[in-house]
Amino acid sequence: MVKVTPALASSGQETMGTSLLVLLFLGFGALIVICQLIPGLVLFCSMLKGLFGSAEKNTMPKTGAKTL
């Protein structure tokens, strides 16, 4: 009979962890997303404040000068 052994095949038993470079890349990407969310949230809150806030009257302040 012929005996067959896997020469270069992986048995699936060994698992490699994620390398440090991949973790740094993913962390950098997450940092970019977080840094973009902060100004977006500020703009969103300003929009909500403008939509649902009290309406201010556009009146001229009294300066003491008489107008015709």
pTM equals 0.50
pLDDT at residue 3, as a whole number = 77
d(CA 27, CA 21) in angstroms, rounded, equals 10
Return the closest-CA partner of residue 44 out of 55, 52, 56.
52
pLDDT at residue 45, as a whole number = 95
Interval 13-55: pLDDT, tens: 666 788 999 999 999 999 999 999 999 999 999 999 999 987 6
Domain residue ranges in the chain: 20-51
**Using 50, 70 and 90 to split pLDDT, how confident is the model at 9?**
low
